[in-house]
Chains A and B, each alone.
Chain A
Amino acid sequence: MWKTEAGAVAHAETAVKQCLPPCQIKCPINEDIQRTNVLISLLPDETDAAREGILQIGDYLYEKNPLFNICGYICGICELECNYNKKGGAIRRRLLKRFLSDVYTEHLKERDELEINRDKENVAVVGGGPGGLMCAYHLSKKGYRVTVIEATERLGGALWLVPDYRLPKDILQTTLENLVRIVGVDVRYNTRLGTGKLTLEKLKSEGYKAVFLGTGLPYPRVLTFEGKLVEGQDLSGVMYGHTYLYEVSHNNITGQYFKGKKVIVTGGGNVAFDVGRSARRQGADVTVVCLEREDKDHRDGIPADEEEIRGAWEEGIRIVYSRGVNEIDGQNGKFKGIHCPSCVSVFDKTGFNPKFDTTDCIDLSGDVLIITVGQAPDRPLLEKENLLDERGRIAIDHLTLQSLNKPWVFIGGDVRRVGFMIEAMGEGMEAAESIDRYLRGVDMKSGRRRDYEGYEIPVRRDYKPEPEVLWIPPENRMHFQMFETGLTLREAIDEAKRCVTCGPCVSCKACVSIGFQKSLSPVEVDVTRCSGCGHCVYVCNYYSAHLVNNDGKITSATDMFKCKSCGMCVVACPSQARKMVDDDTVERINKVCESLA
């Protein structure tokens, strides 16, 4: 079994311009996707033997992303940018990570605490969601003494609202518990900023030199129509999706709670689908009503993931597209139904600004209405803490996440801008960097604004179709167990092999780390020998070899960012003008040949 060497760590340059594979650009924390895909593809085809390799890959991912095993269940935004999308289907990176997670999560329990010399300042992280935890993890690793101030009795924040059929609770629990243990972060549970005497100033006076505020969006957003509150949200039978998922996750709403009930869910985001599919599993007949259109590519397309929509559809959930809600009907204080005018447009130049045609209206009757149109921050808290600007927005530097009103406070995650889990984590990581710079007194901004350049898919003769993802049939899926089957070891190896590794070698170095190559040998062109015939351009699958005009003489050149050091251009060159620097291949061949005599 190979061993990855610490010396060959993939390196995300802090240069202004950085070349990465498109998946890594899409990932807010630029996870080393390509490198770990290559390593997965080289795992032994036998479960026990593969374990050692899986743990090595897991340890590597954990360095940067201590929540990677959760990403393996619910993230996968990298797949949206995968070059393979155009060739038959993105590499199933999420499932590859879930495959690692299924071994690594158990291993977390056995991992030792990190040995860190914590000689730096005290920092408080308010909010133990993914953003806060990521910030705490990276600060603690840098040697800060970090305390997480958590309002509830458990860490994880909004992650607990993800239904069990997508993210099993034991995976979440194990990951969170071990994260704070491994990296040595203190947690104060049931401590809510803004209640009692706990304020940011109080934290400062307690000796915390900087604070990360990642309090998320703890409140559901109410239903409005053309700027006005829709009456009837206090009726019995009307609830908010956020509240519903919270109660389900706390086992307060269990079993066939909605048996025989008609449930209407308003909203078109992933949370609305979590609500609808959970209610379906609790016995309801579910209809989802959303403003957006069915066509996801349209400006007004539905924001929920395609997999969510497909899952809901399979499970017998009706989706009513392009409809708003302008009235809620009730009788004797009980919910009866809604009026739904057609929505002609959702977004305009100003952003979200839905327009309706009230002459085209349908009525939907039901027993329960679950409003899932978004969440809201704790605005009074932000106001009281003087973190807003005169227009009521969070006053913040968007690069450094530093508060403009309180320079020792850094704000990130959903509270700043609602997004995916990994986006909050990315901000937590950025904030950790900012806090470190702030407390070290160094420049807050230099070298941080990066401009990424992606890569095209390499040329090859055949592209392979994506593997089929196995879901339990809908009729057997009406429970909260996982419905998606993970990859087997063989499937994971094959899927990782399908990755065409379109990014540059410097940000990967998988082959160097396991000793396939001593280093990445650059290709040199001897222009005095080069005739500009272009054989190398033809043979290069990465658009690296190209022709340039040197004062009238056409010669070939190598784009070092794109070169994979495969050596095919060297072989193809009829004039021996191309040569790999520091490459011992020819030497090794000659040595063997000489020994024949």
Chain B
Amino acid sequence: MTENKPKIVCFSCKFGWGYLTDEAILSKQIENWVPIICTGKIDTTHIMTAFKQGADGVLILACPEGDCHYQDGNFEAKKRVHLLGELLKSMGIEKGRIRIEFGTDPEGKRIPQIIKEMSQDLAKLGSSKTSTLAAKKPAKEMIKVKGGK
């Protein structure tokens, strides 16, 4: 990986993306890829962990709206991404570093392309301040914000 290439962690819904291709083959083509049974299962702490460990962006590939196998998991993810984006913004981190795409690509051929596009957008933003996040704001506080209580 070159120095200026943004690091993107990609979560994808198994019912929408890449399910027709062997996961082992696809994971060679997609760096930092975590296929997940439902995007509704992605916790905000998971996303924050990625940023803390040095990710420049987090991409969530959800199934098309209205198609979730678990009814509305993709909508839950959409809400979460929106709220978390606002939170990141208030901390001076660009909202564009977290992105959710709805769609389906059974063979997973489009995934590298989508990551590349996001990568180009992130390159324009410059290097991320997210890796210093852990030092600035303890994750626990963020969980409290998320819980909304």
Contacts and interface: CB of A to CB of B under 8 A. Distances in A.
A454 to B, nearest CB: 18
Q: State which size class the interface on B falls in.
A: 35 or more
A482 interface: no
A589 interface: yes
A539 interface: yes
A474 B14 CA distance: 44
User: Which of B23, B54, B68, B72 counts the most A-chain CB atoms under 10 A from its CB?
Assistant: B72
A354 to B, nearest CB: 47
A593 B8 CA distance: 10
A568 B41 contact: yes
A213 interface: no
A458 B73 CA distance: 13
Contact of A567 (B33, B37, B50, B107): B37
Given A464-B66, A500-B71, A541-B70, A596 B7 contact: yes
Contacts of B50: 589, 592-593, 596
Interface in A407-441: none
A594 B71 CA distance: 32
B110 interface: no
Contact of B49 (A461, A514, A533, A590): A590
Nearest to A44: B20
A77 B19 CA distance: 32
A458 B70 CA distance: 9
A168 B20 CA distance: 34
B32 A592 contact: yes
A464 B37 CA distance: 22
Nearest to A586: B46
Interface in A439-464: 458-462, 464
Given A501-B69, A568-B38, A589 B15 contact: no
Given A44-B20, A596-B54, A585 B71 contact: no
A470 B20 CA distance: 30
Nearest to B19: A42
Given A2-B20, A511-B37, A566 B73 contact: yes
A588 B71 contact: no
A314 interface: no
A567 B46 contact: no
Given A44-B20, A44-B106, A566 B49 contact: no
A571 B15 CA distance: 19
Given A566-B40, A571-B42, A460 B71 contact: yes
A30 interface: no
A270 interface: no
A1 interface: yes
Contact of B36 (A38, A497, A585, A593): A585
A596 B37 contact: no
A514 B23 CA distance: 12
A45 interface: yes
A574 interface: yes
A595 interface: yes
B43 interface: yes
Interface in A33-65: 38, 42, 44-45, 49
* A-B pairs, 7 with minimum CB distance: A574-B147, A567-B41, A460-B71, A566-B70, A541-B71, A593-B53, A596-B54
Interface of B: 7, 9, 14-15, 19-20, 23, 32-34, 36-38, 40-44, 46, 49-50, 52-55, 66-73, 75-76, 106-107, 143, 146-149
14 contacts: A459-B72, A461-B72, A539-B76, A541-B72, A566-B41, A567-B41, A568-B38, A568-B41, A585-B36, A585-B41, A592-B9, A593-B49, A593-B55, A597-B53
Interface of A: 1-2, 38, 42, 44-45, 49, 458-462, 464, 497, 500-501, 511, 514-517, 533, 539, 541, 564-568, 570-571, 574, 585-586, 588-590, 592-597
